[in-house]
Amino acid sequence: MRERGKNLTAPPRPARGSAAVAGLTAEQIALARLAASWLLWYPDETLVARLPEIDRAVATLPSGPREPLAQFLAHLDGTPLVDVQRHYVSIFDMKRKACPYLSYWTDGDTRNRGVAILRFKQAYLESGFDLGDEELADHLAVVLEFAAVGDPLTGEALLAEHAAPIGLLREALAGLDSVYVHVLDAVLATMGEITPEVAARMVELAGSGPPVEQVGLEPFGRGPVLVELGARR
232 pLDDT more than 60: no
Confidence of residue 196 (pLDDT cuts 50, 70, 90): confident
| 134-182 per-position pLDDT tens digit | 778 899 999 999 999 888 888 888 888 888 889 999 999 999 999 999 9
pLDDT score for 201: 54
Mean pLDDT across 103-112 = 64
Flag the least confident range among 9-13, 81-85, 188-192.
Answer: 9-13
**pLDDT value, residue 115:** 75
Q: Which residues contact 170 (CB under 8 A, 6 or more apart)?
A: 181, 184, 185, 187, 188
Please state, rounded to an integer, the average pLDDT across all residues of the chain: 78
* Contacts (Cβ under 8 Å, ≥6 apart) of 60: 9, 28, 31
CB 210 within 8 A of CB 104: yes
Is residue 203 over pLDDT 80? no
Supply angle C-alpha 161, 163, 166, rounded to 5: 130
Q: Where are the domains of the chain?
A: 26-228
On the question of pLDDT at 9 being above 90, the answer is no
Encode 65-89: b = buried (16+ Cβ within 10 Å), e = exposed: bbbbbbebbeebeeeeeeebeebbe
Span 26-228: which CATH code?
A: 1.10.3480.10
Question: For residue range 20-68, what is the model confidence (pLDDT) as tens digits?
Answer: 566 899 899 999 999 999 999 999 999 999 999 999 999 999 999 999 9
The answer to whether residue 19 scores a pLDDT higher than 50 is: no
pLDDT for the residue 92:
94
Could you tell me the CA-to-CA distances from 119 to 70, 85, 90, 103, 232 in Å, in that order?
33, 31, 29, 10, 25
The larger pLDDT score, comparing residue 202 to residue 30, is at 30
Mean pLDDT, range 179-204, rounded to an integer: 80
Closest among 226, 37, 233, 53 to 150, alpha carbons compared: 226
Residue 78 has pLDDT above 50, yes or no: yes
Q: How confident is the model over 199-211, as a mean pLDDT? A: 54
pLDDT: is 110 or 171 the higher one? Answer: 171
- Which residue in 21, 5, 113, 120 sits closest to 53, CA to CA? 5
Read off the pLDDT of each residue in 93-104 and give the average, rounded to a whole number: 86
